A and B are shown apart, each in its own frame.
Chain A
Amino acid sequence: MKKLKFIGNPLLQSREKINMSSDKKWLTLKTTEDNEEFVVEESVAIMSNVIKNMVEDGCASSVIPVPRVKGNAMGKIIEFCKKHTEESDEKVLKEFDAEFLNLGPDALYDLMVSANFLEIKVLLDSVTTKVADMIKGKSSEEIRNILKIENDLSAEEIEESRRENCWTRQE
């Protein structure tokens, strides 16, 4: 059974009612990987440059298919875009972002890939900054552990790099 998710007024029960309501335009986004549908305001959806282009080119008819992004990631992304469309207070947005991005590295990477694919600059910049903050000022080993990077360099290669960058070694 298809799941229909409304990111909007919870009192409205059907798509027909939404389409008849005042001047707001609504779009349906469908993640093709897991067939989840999301009904969003156009003003929120066009924070994605990709969707914006589709709407402007007139391709966005009833349902916009979104490949490569999973349903739960899409839900989070819409939550982010909605907040950033509604709220103009910098301070409030900053607090929201900090809370929103309080995720493990894997979830952050998923978000990065999706934001990059959908071309949502604000989200991409926020996540990139968050990941950078996680490793700022840390040693190589600490960075490896935080980002879970597998080592495939030989001992000589590592030694060579260390020698070249000895200026940056933490004393």
Chain B
Amino acid sequence: MAMSKYDLTPRIAPNLDRHLVFPLLEFTQERQLYPNDQILKAKIELLNNTNMVDYAMDIHKSLYHTEDVPQDMVDRRVEVVARLKSLEEAAAPLVTFLQNPNAVQELRADKQYNLQMLNERYQIGTEQIEALYQYAKFQFECGNYSGAADYLYQYRALCTNAERSLSALWGKLAAEILMQNWDIALDELSRLKEIIDSKNFASSLNQVQSRIWLMHWSLFIFFNHDNGRTQIIDLFNQDKYLNAIQTNAPHLLRYLATAFIVNKKRRPQFKEFIKVIQQEQHSFSDPITEFLACVYVNFDFDGAQKKMKECEDVIMNDPFLGKRVEESNYTVVPLKDEFLENARLFIFETYCRIHERIDMGVLAEKLNLNYEDAERWILNLIRTSKLDAKINTQTGTVVMEPIHPNVYEQLIDHTKGLSGRTYKLVSQLMEHGQAQAAR
């Protein structure tokens, strides 16, 4: 299918938790990127290893249009319920303790004290705490995310095993994402990131893998959180993370590229990023990265225009980029509009930099606007002094004001830093001298 050509779901899914893949599948189903049957089958496959047996049964029914459910699913349901019971029992003492607000108040910030206190007064030992983890995990697998999130939070407060604590954090993050608590999820994300960056992992390979997972999971947050577009650049564009992307998950470049395009403030890193895109051309390219290559590498403006149209499709069909917002009666994809606006600006900006005089008609065409709109658009740019140009209506052209840097200014700029540097040098020398004398 042509529409699914740029679909990244198959490449992203392996890096996500099973439960996190669901939203993606829902999206593809909605966009009808793949035949419905295929998606349903994929969903059942996905559910097979979780405990959401009821849900799997429903899907099975709708897939095969029957009321019968295969025996193994029924068996599994019984099994799951039984296991849930046993886990619940195991974790019961701790859960009741935690549900008692008076008791919880006895907990202090000191982990050791807490453990000792629990052990002495409530007979809650490591076994029960471990059971809490298992219970939370089971809850998560059953689809009870809020419960899982709560228990995991409590567990982390009591857990002493770093390894376990880490996986509890992953679980918490997944649960928060699935509950769409973006703010909390963002906190968890940064907490996790700290651990990953600081922890002495067994192997650097492991670390890289964790980073890649983290980046994939973060997509959910960044494209839903208000401030996400800046943060995605902050995260992805760090050397360590960019390296991880380049080595193992070049498809993430799409999201970084999009973030760069819609984010006007991040220009300094942009040029470096263009180089990265060029470098990774062989391993990943889609209309969005190609668009950047057209504008900034090949100066092929016609090509850029074509790519822009393709980009629109890509955005619409991407589960993260194509997020829809209901606005009164119609739905909009906010990111798409923003992207197109900015992309247009990109083209125009570069175009203007190498031109002295541009025909308005051609410009309008290049910008995918009609003549009037184009004129208004340029007028606006000139008014907000983003563009140093004049419109010549007689010939129907835009004339750029030549930029001639003033030689004297340049000279001054040049030497401006010198005195500061010298002072710094001197003070350093003095410091050193004093240190010597003190000794």
B is a partner of A: no
Residue numbers of B with Cβ under 8 A of A are none
